[in-house]
Amino acid sequence: MTDQEEQSLKETKRKEKSIEEEAERLAKEQVRKNASLAREQAIEEDQKERKTKRMENRAAEDIEQSTRDQARKKAHLAREQAIAKAQEARKLKAKKQTRE
């Protein structure tokens, strides 16, 4: 085998090795990309679940707050009515006393 043939054979082997290495590099890069994409999707899904849970909790809190507000308004109205009745009763009593 001549030096030129030997050199050509070495060059061919070097190119084949380079092609193999590039294929391996691309395969590893694809695996990394897929893993990264899977992580991002998992994070997004987790964020969606958390957002949904926050919204559900907020809705429940809003309902509870509304219920408390209604109860407070009813209690306030009942106090106002009791005060009005008591005032009316005092007026009637005062009227009766002035007649006597």
For residue range 48-66, what is the model confidence (pLDDT) as tens digits? 999 999 999 999 999 999 9
- Global pTM value: 0.55
Rounded-to-integer distance, Cα 3 and Cα 57, Å: 80
Q: Is residue 62 part of a domain?
A: yes
Q: Which domain holds residue 66?
A: 1-75
Q: Is the dihedral of CA 8, 10, 11, 13 positive or negative?
A: positive
Q: Is residue 89 part of a domain?
A: no
pLDDT of 3 reads 80
Q: Is residue 67 part of a domain?
A: yes
pLDDT at 37 > cutoff 90: yes
Total structural domains in the chain?
1
